[in-house]
Structure 1
Amino acid sequence: MPPAHPFDFDAVNSDGDKLKEECGIFGAVGVTDAANFVALGLHALQHRGQEAGGIVTYDPDEGFNSARRFGYVRDNFTSQTLMKTLPGALSIGHVRYSTAGSKGAAIRDVQPFFGEFSMGGAAIAHNGNITNADALRRELIERGSIFQSSSDSECIIHLMARSLQRNIPERMEDALRRVEGAFSVVAMTRTKLIGVRDPLGVRPLVLGKIGDGWCLASETCALDIIGAEYVREIEPGEMVVITAEDGVQSHRPFRPQPSKFCIFEHVYFSRPDSIIGGQSVYETRRQIGVELARENPVEADLVCPVPDSGTPAAIGFAHESGIPFGMGIIRNQYMGRTFIEPTEHIRNMGVRLKLNVNRALIKGKRVILVDDSVVRGTTSRKIKEMILDAGAAEVHFRIASPPTAWPCFYGVDTPQREKLLAATMSEEEMCQHLGVDSLKFISLDGLYRAVGEAEGRDKSCPQYCDACFSGEYPVEPADMIKKGFQMKAAE
């Protein structure tokens, strides 16, 4: 498969030093040319997946139609010619970064997936990861199912096909009861838009109103782009079935469980202009910076964010510490596409292609760099070198999340545990490895306080999924355990 762009930074600097943002899903019903709304919604969710995207529509005269493409939404779903092939008032879409299945996968791995059942067709798009997908896939193949992709999400379609329930929503309920892990799903039939969240609510899903129609989205920022009114979050374990005629009908197909929403959505994954649980993501990240400054003060002359994800936390850190805030690092906003061919010389430039130091601001100063996380540490080392090359007197890292010491199995592309810096080094060893004057992370309790839990983390029953920091997995990763993954020993 040729690259989606002549030159892409992630292909050049593919050192896995940032956690990749799972996937984004969007659906609309009861609106003219629903695919146009879905394309706009997916554009707003592009940060959640840049590898590929797809849209499925239904029109009474044309039936089901679909388009799946590699690359960005802006490059693939703006053609009037293409959009005319996606008619109808009902549509769902998906943007993808592969977390299960092969990397650089074929077009058959791009969602939404479609299936034809005895009672009509249905399409589904899934954000998350099925932790028992290997076992389900093996069972389904042994019983005659023929898979078309390497994606774990396809298991849902096959489970629906084998269900004996009367209609597609009931078949989906039946299928999802067999699924373990994390899932937010949007699906469609000829008349219905369906949204489901797993019983723990690990991955996000929100409901919006657009004119006489309705929409579902991974984040509220996708509602804003189409002028939709935010109605509410889909609750953990809830299924909504929406039609243009009857509106929203809610079902509770799963046994109630304590919510375990992914806390890293607050730290990094969600866009800062989104709302989570009634809270501004931007304000939460600013408060993370406040807590970080309280826990880990240091004498310095400048607080500088690592753009763009570190900016709100750096603003909070600067305000709380009284140290001036400055944009000491400038991001090249046009890095996603360029005519420059990725020669070996260009590849060796690495992070400098994406970020540049504001030398006039940095020179001679003791600099605090605020970033959202440290994964492998390779990018952090390069940024430190750039800051020192610009004449900084000292470099101090302050990280707006606890050390990432455990892989995620719920829809986030995480390196193997032995490749996570915090899994093999203490904080002091990481500081020496990065070659900085100091390195400090926010505590897990501090992070919980920043997201609104005044008493910090409830150790007996954590309020969020924080497995990437704590090693405490709310759903046992069955497939990975069979492959030899060692869970954290009980304390």
Structure 2
Amino acid sequence: MSKHMPPAHPFDFDAWSEDAGDDKLHEECGVFGVTGVTDAANFVALGLHALQHRGQEAGGIVSYDPASGFNSARRFGYVRDNFTKQSLMETLPGALAIGHVRYSTAGSKGATQIRDVQPFFGEFSMGGAAIAHNGNITNADALRRELIERGSIFQSSSDSECIIHLMARSLQRKVPERMMDALRRVEGAFSVVAMTRTKLIGVRDPLGVRPLVIGRIGDEGWVLSSETCALDIIGADYLRDVEPGEMVVIEDGELKSLHPFVPAKPRFCIFEHVYFSRPDSIIGGRSVYETRRQIGVELAREAPVDADLVCPVPDSGTPAAIGFAHESGIPYGMGIIRNQYMGRTFIEPTEQIRNMGVRLKLNVNRALIEGKRVILVDDSVVRGTTSRKIKEMILDAGAAEVHFRIASPPTAWPCFYGVDTPQREKLLAATMSEEEMREHLAVDSLKFISLDGLYRAVGEVKGRDASCPQYCDACFSGDYPVAPTDMLEKGFQLKAAE
């Protein structure tokens, strides 16, 4: 599936933002489910709006109402542009609903197809069920071949559809048990929110790579969400995380906890702390904002530099820049301002306009920057295209020096667990040393936080214990906790043993 939607206007910024220098990593999706409330779909729409940062390509909602059965709506674009329309929301009645926002990693890389938009629905002998999946199935190609050979007919190019077909082939009598059977065949990362006519179900893979939390609305309502920030928008109370390897089944106001998988040591995605999650979310009992601020503190300790101003690359670099400035004693300033209203326009995309891509999103505060030695704090460097253009903007504004400080280690390996990552040869850190990257970006200095420093920032006092890491940090270390089966078949080379 294409990562960008077909342009809705003669000129659509989203359709060429990558060419304009948007080389950030992107999460695949966000999931949300509600039961025990009137008009559950409206709550789901609000929750998906809060999770929009996890997927901007498309969204979908499935609800159940005893009078009309299962109802669904899937749309391209933002939640606010689709699921705020009364005419649409009236087609999604009921006290039980789930939803999904999508940013494709697995699936068709050609034209966007509505059939790839989740949640997916299946009608089984015991009744219907819908699922929404966050993550990536690393053996999806092998499963798809097997299922097609046995007669399954796929409707989408998404890896997530494998789960529905595996459920259909299970001999178990109830949906939760069929889901257990299916997910035991699946490799990779999955946080799933599912529903039947009476049940809301949540499950995480044994390593707990992707997040999933439980919330309460009053005395009767229950919520499942990718992040706690989506609980806040509907006034729900955070109860706890779904544990790695746990399945929760909510029915008639009661939650039942099951552990259907072989226990494993958790490997939560550390990049959720660095970039993916919203700063106002709580992960594992820790404030994401506070963790990112602490990353800046560690970075200032590891890579000090004489300068006049600490400036974040908005918005993801802001908490780390605040921590860096506080620890270093160098003043903090908003040297780069984000245009909050940047979006689709009717301007024809001439080459000159295309080259202004970053400037459409960001503008330099010239009065603050001019003559200063500037430290730019950003969350990551992927291909380096955005970093180079931002550096040029800072120098054009009259900065005396430009120093980059990066709030994550070098991203040298692709992610196969639900993150849209370029091929390894397109990752700057995969082909260059830190000094070569500095020369490529043409900045006065470039330093990344160490992997140990990142672990200290997320609460591991002794840093990363190489014998037993607490997080999935494969994008930095090349240490993949689950073998990427499909990619290995295609020739991907794992890191050589040291």
TM score, norm. by length of structure 1 = 0.98
Query: CA offsets, 1:166-218, max 9 Å, x none?
Result: 10000000000000000000000000000000000000000000121101000
| 1:232 counterpart residue number | 240
| 1:354 counterpart residue number | 361
| 1:450 counterpart residue number | 457
Within a 5 Å distance, the mapping from 1:377-456 to structure 2 comes to 377-456=384-463
1:246 positional shift = 4.1
**SS class of match (2:412):** coil
Instruction: Note if 1:65 corresponds to 2:42.
Output: no
1:348 positional shift = 1.8
Cα distance between partner residues in 2 of 1:467 and 1:415? 14
Instruction: Note if 1:80 corresponds to 2:102.
Output: no
Query: CA offsets, 1:357-378, max 9 Å, x none?
Result: 0000000000000000000000
Cα distance between partner residues in 2 of 1:50 and 1:242? 29
Which residue of 37, 42, 47 corresponds with 2:43? Answer: 37
The one-letter amino acid paired with 1:76 is N
- Which blocks of at least 5 consecutive residues in structure 1 are unaligned? none
- Using the TM superposition, name which of 364-373 and 340-349 deviates more: 340-349
| 1:219 counterpart residue number | 227
Instruction: Note if 1:11 corresponds to 2:19.
Output: no
Cα distance between partner residues in 2 of 1:372 and 1:296? 15
Cα distance between partner residues in 1 of 2:411 and 2:370? 31
Cα distance between partner residues in 2 of 1:66 and 1:451? 39
Cα distance between partner residues in 2 of 1:26 and 1:7? 32
Query: CA offsets, 1:448-483, max 9 Å, x none?
Result: 000000000010010000000000000000000000
Cα distance between partner residues in 1 of 2:258 and 2:282? 24
Query: CA offsets, 1:238-277, max 9 Å, x none?
Result: 000001x241100000011000000000000000000001
Partners of 2:12 and 2:346 within 8 A in 1: no
**SS class of match (2:494):** coil
Cα distance between partner residues in 2 of 1:250 and 1:344? 56
Query: CA offsets, 1:106-127, max 9 Å, x none?
Result: 0000000000000000000000
Partners of 2:13 and 2:345 within 8 A in 1: no
Which residue of 364, 372, 375 corresponds with 1:365? Answer: 372
1:53 positional shift = 0.2
The one-letter amino acid paired with 2:90 is K
**SS class of match (1:271):** coil
**SS class of match (1:430):** helix
1:335 positional shift = 1.2
TM score, norm. by length of structure 2 = 0.97
- Which blocks of at least 5 consecutive residues in structure 2 are unaligned? none
The one-letter amino acid paired with 1:155 is C
Cα distance between partner residues in 2 of 1:252 and 1:335? 45
Cα distance between partner residues in 2 of 1:33 and 1:14? 38
Cα distance between partner residues in 1 of 2:241 and 2:8? 34
Q: How many percent identity over aligned positions?
A: 88
| 2:31 counterpart residue number | 25
Instruction: Note if 1:250 corresponds to 2:254.
Output: no
Partners of 1:9 and 1:354 within 8 A in 2: no
1:435 positional shift = 0.2
Partners of 1:31 and 1:213 within 8 A in 2: yes
1:347 positional shift = 1.3
**SS class of match (2:324):** helix
Cα distance between partner residues in 2 of 1:402 and 1:274? 22
Partners of 1:5 and 1:71 within 8 A in 2: no
Query: CA offsets, 1:409-467, max 9 Å, x none?
Result: 00000000000000000000000000000000000000000000000001001000000
**SS class of match (2:215):** strand
Instruction: Note if 1:331 corresponds to 2:338.
Output: yes
The one-letter amino acid paired with 1:167 is K
Cα distance between partner residues in 2 of 1:430 and 1:385? 15
State the Cα RMSD in Å.
1.0
Provide runs of 4+ in structure 1 moved above 2 Å: 1-13, 336-345
| 1:286 counterpart residue number | 293
1:7 positional shift = 4.9
Partners of 2:215 and 2:222 within 8 A in 1: yes
Partners of 1:4 and 1:70 within 8 A in 2: no
Partners of 2:308 and 2:374 within 8 A in 1: yes
- Pairs aligned (count): 490
Partners of 2:140 and 2:159 within 8 A in 1: yes
Within a 5 Å distance, the mapping from 1:297-316 to structure 2 comes to 297-316=304-323
1:141 positional shift = 0.1
